[in-house]
Amino acid sequence: MVYQKVLIAGQWRDSKYPVGGFNAVNPATKQALAEVYPVSGEDDVNELIAAGKRAAVELRNVPVERISRFLELFAEKIEAHTAALVDIANLETGLPKEPRLRNGELPRTTDQLRKAAKAARELSWRNATIETAVNIRSMMGPLDGPISVFGPNNFPFAFNSVAGGDFAAAIAAGNPVIAKANTGHPGTTLVFARLAFEAVKEAQLPPGTVQMIYRTPPELGLKLVSHPQIGASAFTGSKSAGLRLKAAADKAGKPIYLEMSSVNPVFILPGAVEERSDELAAEMFGSCALGAGQFCTNPGLIIVQKSEWTEQFIDTLAGAFDRNRPGILLGSKGLDSVGNAVEVLQSAGARLIAGGRKVEDEGYRFANTLLRVDAQTFIANPHELQTEAFGTVSLIVVADDIRQMTEVASVVEGNLTGCIYSNTQGKDDEDYAVLEPELRTKVGRLLNDKVPTGVAVVSSMNHGGPYPATGHPGFTAVGLPASMLRFAALYCYDNVRPSRLPVELQDKNPTGTMWRLIDGEWTQKDV
Amino acid sequence: MVYQKVLIAGQWRDSKYPVGGFNAVNPATKQALAEVYPVSGEDDVNELIAAGKRAAVELRNVPVERISRFLELFAEKIEAHTAALVDIANLETGLPKEPRLRNGELPRTTDQLRKAAKAARELSWRNATIETAVNIRSMMGPLDGPISVFGPNNFPFAFNSVAGGDFAAAIAAGNPVIAKANTGHPGTTLVFARLAFEAVKEAQLPPGTVQMIYRTPPELGLKLVSHPQIGASAFTGSKSAGLRLKAAADKAGKPIYLEMSSVNPVFILPGAVEERSDELAAEMFGSCALGAGQFCTNPGLIIVQKSEWTEQFIDTLAGAFDRNRPGILLGSKGLDSVGNAVEVLQSAGARLIAGGRKVEDEGYRFANTLLRVDAQTFIANPHELQTEAFGTVSLIVVADDIRQMTEVASVVEGNLTGCIYSNTQGKDDEDYAVLEPELRTKVGRLLNDKVPTGVAVVSSMNHGGPYPATGHPGFTAVGLPASMLRFAALYCYDNVRPSRLPVELQDKNPTGTMWRLIDGEWTQKDV
């Protein structure tokens, strides 16, 4: 069997003693693709960690300009290979070439890499804090080992283990990355890894700065996140896999950042339904069906109040679910998982009002599925009724009044996002004031009159939220430089001689523009 | 049996169905004190959590000025009751009334409370971040439940569960506190809780903002940190207890901040020993003996290079250890634990050069103990030889050269602090450059020519460090406002209507002086 090569310790080489091989499958045809990728065994993993650790030590002496240059070179190379990336990602994921992959996700990916480069170069992300009276100075610095990144299946570019947001943030914070490809798109990841490694060489970074394997047996994934020489890990994917990795990392005292599951509740207050029912139904359907419903921020839960307008809204929405052809799901496992989730929701008391079954088709498709349940039932069984179905599947919860809507909010689990739609003329303002405090602490990002899908890469973004959406409510996976803080440690210097301080903490502002907190004032000046 | 009362849900009341009682012991006389404190059972714990959760919800609607006022009132009351606090803390801990308790720890405690009040009022700690082009705004806000605080035995004031740094930070960030007194000083904690509760009433905070119990069976401690309605926990104490709490909190996805153990390596380069051997020995002994050696930042590991000066330094230091009367340890458990640690160190190859035994005395005292080991032995058995002895016990590691010193640094575990002493005329600068990079990632605070004991309460402090010193390398337990970030979640507002935004994120700067990051610039201006 000829396997594709892995990237370990600066070498493209055969996997040492692989424990198996696998193919990617085209979800549009259900056909396996030709290339075979190795499942790495213990030898590969040991070498990854050792080389990653060496690279972590070496990177601490590399001028930050070279790290930024690497990120920019990589972005340029990605753009130069757009066609190849779009072709293979389309084959491996079934996501449309246009506009999704070429015009949406690819530019987003290069934008993230460039924003990470800019943040690294500007240095303000370090939160340099200086107290002159006592000569104690601190800033954020890299961790003491490489970051292992486990990317998800649903964004082959923007969250890719070796090109996406976690990768960009980890590198920009000065850490090497050990990328475990998502097994849904190994070929896409291979193309990225080739380009990244070319950029590593051109920017003269340590060769172990970027390493990549395709897959390991589960126990070696656990080893990767818990190894004493690992700095931290980032995982985006299913809750079950995420929790297994979390348990191993936690036990070893290693930070792990997870993005696991979210049903993203959307509360539509009565005045909004009365005002713009059809518009809302169209907006909701568009958000629910984006990427065949396989978005972390997909609205899986829509909470409304009983009324004739509400019934009309539900009918219109169900019509849109029925009428539109479902998108292609990422794989057969995803298809089964959506079916199972819909069954769980029904067993817990939800009633189907659209879809509910696999579609006989050349590709993996599940009918757009809308369910409904009354709020009382939801409140009595909130855990099962928040089962995430990773597809175009949403559950409408119909409440009697604002009190019951708020009670629904009170039993909602931790989520990435929560939306409140309300009347534009102020009719819902009292209800909003009751509902918002309950929802606020359950979600990372609170929206008004806007769908949760679409996560802007800006400094004020929070793509995070309370457990079980993620593992810690204080960090975001999207938005620079905030996402870099996940991969950093607080370095304090007490009475350290001036020449021995990192340039960021010396009296002279190293760039003239870096923001530093000196004696309680944010400034770009020298001490 | 008449038990002291617990403070639950705004009531001073008897513990419901306590599972036992205990007395504090005066470590200076080994005599039990008269008061008996209840060991709380499940009823108390359930009520604490429910009342804490209610208070968390209510606190979100309390103007921050009242929270700051509470912290300041509490500080005033502490000052007004200095004599009572100093008396009981001295009885319960054996720590000297003066200067330690009255002139050192008490003013530090009130200073922390006032700095927390100031930080809460100034609002800059929220890291308000605004991107005007997309109208996405974010800031740090309170967690979704109360903070359970487990204070240590060694700082009855400054780290007290109901008056210390964790308490101040949790409250200032807008969260209620459930305080579990350290069982070594229940009476001190009771006095603080009385004063705190008076201040709660005067500042008109929700009655459940401050609650306090003395002790629980271990399984209820686990329940407290892992309960779905808890926001987060803070623990300072032994590694074994800390790791048990961490496992429970991690499994439930609840943040927990730990400060567990640290041997605080001090590397003395040859040029420093040659230059000022006697001065260094005096400085080291002073730091080692502070608080009878029961400081988190106590220098438990001193690494030197072979030379005639070094032998003189060791002799002088051993002389100081021998000559000075050992301080009183906090309790009989601590005394046994120091004895056990010294045995572990000896079994692992360290040789006693001073002390090594319990002292026959009215109080709990262990002879000031100095051990020595060669670097090769240390490197071969680093884990056992980093056993923390919580007393005036230090291990000197003698290395052949800078290469071996650096190898020692490479096997050092995560620590709160690490010091490097070097020649003032630059003779050690080359060695420093070799050693520093290895030590930097192992410690939270790196010092030059300064003892690690003495943790300034300033914004640039890091009283934290890599595991196992703490549970996460990015957070500090001392220094305001940084320590507040442990008890906060990232709240993002996307397209939220202006009047619905928290004042911190509205266009107008709410204080005129709050620092906000608007479109990448730190400013005190309006949007």
Q: Give mean pLDDT, residues B67-95.
A: 98
Chain A's closest residue to B484, CA to CA, is A474
Report d(CA B457, CA B449) in Å as an integer. Answer: 20
Chain B's closest residue to A478, CA to CA, is B492
Question: Shortest CA distance to A132 belongs to which of A391, A520, A443?
Answer: A520
Task: State pTM to two decimals.
Answer: 0.97
Q: What is the pLDDT of residue A198?
A: 98
Q: Which among B143, B252, B461 has CB closest to A473?
A: B143
Read out DSSP for A6-31? EEETTEEEPPSS-SEEE--EETTTTE
What's chain A's average pLDDT?
97
Which value, in Å, is the radius of gyration of the alpha carbons in chain A? 24
Chain B's closest residue to A144, CA to CA, is B441
Portion 48-77 of A in contact with B at CB < 8 A: 57, 60-61
B261: pLDDT strictly greater than 90: no
Q: Are A442 and A413 contacting, i.e. CB atoms less than 8 angstroms apart?
A: yes
Q: How confident is the model at residue A34 (pLDDT cuts 50, 70, 90)?
A: very high
Helix (H) or strand (E) holding A37: strand A37-39
A contacts of B472 (beta carbons < 8 Å) = 255
The alpha carbon torsion through A214, A216, A218, A224 (nearest 10 deg) reads -90
The nearest CA of chain B is from the CA of A4 a distance in Å of 36
A contacts of B141 (beta carbons < 8 Å) = 440-441
Cβ within 8 Å of residue B55, ≥6 positions away: B146, B176, B205, B206, B207, B208, B209
pLDDT digits (tens, 9 = 90+) for B400-452: 999 999 999 999 999 999 999 999 999 999 999 999 999 999 999 999 999 99
Share of chain A above pLDDT 90, in %: 99
Chain B's closest residue to A252, CA to CA, is B467
Report d(CA B5, CA A513) in Å as an integer. Answer: 57
Select from B175, B407, B490 the residue whose CB has the most chain A CBs within 10 Å, as the one to mutate to test that interface.
B490
Burial of A136 (0-12, 13-18, 19+ CB in 10 A): buried
B contacts of A464 (beta carbons < 8 Å) = 490
Q: How confident is the model at residue A150 (pLDDT cuts 50, 70, 90)?
A: very high
CB contact under 8 A, B445 and A57: no
Q: Which among A253, A437, A456 has CB closest to B471?
A: A253
B72: pLDDT strictly greater than 90: yes
Q: Apex CA A373: angle with CA A368 and CA A376, to 5°?
A: 160
State the catalytic residues of B: 259, 296
CB contact under 8 A, B485 and A475: no
Helices B82-93 and B106-122 sit at what angle, rounded to 10 degrees?
A: 120
CB contact under 8 A, A462 and B520: no
Q: Does residue A275 have an active-site annotation?
A: no
Return the number of CB contacts < 8 Å for A and B: 194
Report d(CA A315, CA A37) in Å as an integer. Answer: 47
Query: Can you give the length of chain A in residues?
Result: 527
Q: Are A62 and A225 contacting, i.e. CB atoms less than 8 angstroms apart?
A: no
Helix (H) or strand (E) holding B299: none
Tokens, residue B374: 């060669």
Tokens, residue B373: 């080991």
pLDDT digits (tens, 9 = 90+) for A44-57: 999 999 999 999 99
CB contact under 8 A, B522 and A522: yes
Q: What type of residue is A397?
A: V
Q: Is B522 left (phi over 0), alpha (psi -120 to 50) or beta?
A: beta
The nearest CA of chain B is from the CA of A471 a distance in Å of 6
Question: Shortest CA distance to B92 belongs to which of B334, B294, B365, B330?
Answer: B330
Q: Are A154 and A236 contacting, i.e. CB atoms less than 8 angstroms apart?
A: no
Portion 355-414 of B in contact with A at CB < 8 A: 414
Question: Taking the CA of residue B37 as centre, how many other CA atoms within 13 Å lie in the half-sphere pointing to its CB?
Answer: 24
Helix (H) or strand (E) holding A350: none
pLDDT digits (tens, 9 = 90+) for B201-241: 999 999 999 999 999 999 999 999 999 999 999 999 999 99
Q: What is the pLDDT of residue B274?
A: 97
Q: What is the pLDDT of residue B420?
A: 98
Burial of A247 (0-12, 13-18, 19+ CB in 10 A): middle
Q: Give mean pLDDT, residues B158-164.
A: 98
CB contact under 8 A, B144 and A449: no
B contacts of A130 (beta carbons < 8 Å) = 460
CB contact under 8 A, B441 and A475: no
Question: Taking the CA of residue A375 as centre, how many other CA atoms within 13 Å lie in the half-sphere pointing to its CB?
Answer: 21
pLDDT digits (tens, 9 = 90+) for B467-510: 999 999 999 999 999 999 999 999 999 999 999 999 999 999 99
Q: For residue B11, what are the β-bridge partners?
A: B8
Q: Is the ipTM of this complex over 0.95?
A: yes
Q: Which domains are seen in chain A, by residue range?
A: 6-127+144-260+476-484 (3.40.605.10), 265-448 (3.40.309.10)
Q: How confident is the model at residue A1 (pLDDT cuts 50, 70, 90)?
A: confident
CB contact under 8 A, A515 and B492: no
Which residue in the list A47, A283, A296, A388 is annotated as catalytic? A296
CB contact under 8 A, B437 and A57: yes
Select from A139, A460, A511 the residue whose CB has the most chain B CBs within 10 Å, as the one to mutate to test that interface.
A460
β pairing state of B129-131 and B136-142: antiparallel
Portion 244-303 of B in contact with A at CB < 8 A: 246-247, 250-255
Q: How confident is the model at residue B1 (pLDDT cuts 50, 70, 90)?
A: confident
Q: Give mean pLDDT, residues B3-14.
A: 98
Q: What is the pLDDT of residue A261?
A: 86
Portion 118-147 of B in contact with A at CB < 8 A: 129-131, 133-134, 136-138, 140-144
A167 φ/ψ angles, rounded to the nearest 5 degrees:
-60, -50
Helix (H) or strand (E) holding B276: helix B270-289
pLDDT digits (tens, 9 = 90+) for B89-110: 999 999 999 999 999 999 999 9
The nearest CA of chain A is from the CA of B358 a distance in Å of 34
Q: Give mean pLDDT, residues A281-307.
A: 97
Chain B's closest residue to A515, CA to CA, is B522
Tokens, residue B452: 């690690």
A30: pLDDT strictly greater than 90: yes
Q: Is B456 on the interface with A (CB under 8 A)?
A: yes
Q: What is the pLDDT of residue A39?
A: 98
Q: Are A339 and A303 contacting, i.e. CB atoms less than 8 angstroms apart?
A: no
CB contact under 8 A, B144 and A466: yes
The alpha carbon torsion through A446, A447, A452, A455 (nearest 10 deg) reads -80
Q: Apex CA B426: angle with CA B456 and CA B413, to 5°?
A: 50
Q: Are A395 and A293 contacting, i.e. CB atoms less than 8 angstroms apart?
A: no
CB contact under 8 A, A462 and B492: yes
A contacts of B500 (beta carbons < 8 Å) = 432, 436, 448
Q: Are B461 and B308 contacting, i.e. CB atoms less than 8 angstroms apart?
A: no
Select from A413, A492, A517 the residue whose CB has the most chain B CBs within 10 Å, as the one to mutate to test that interface.
A492
Chain B's closest residue to A440, CA to CA, is B491
Tokens, residue A486: 């996940």
Q: Strand, coil or helix: what is A332?
A: helix
Q: What is the pLDDT of residue A146?
A: 98
Furthest CA-CA distance within chain A: 73
Q: Which among B60, B489, B493 has CB closest to A437?
A: B60
Q: What's the 3-state SS for A122-167? A: HCHHHCCEEECCCCEEEEEEECCCCEEEECCCCCCCCCCCCCCHHH
Portion 464-503 of B in contact with A at CB < 8 A: 464, 466-468, 471-476, 482, 485, 488-497, 500
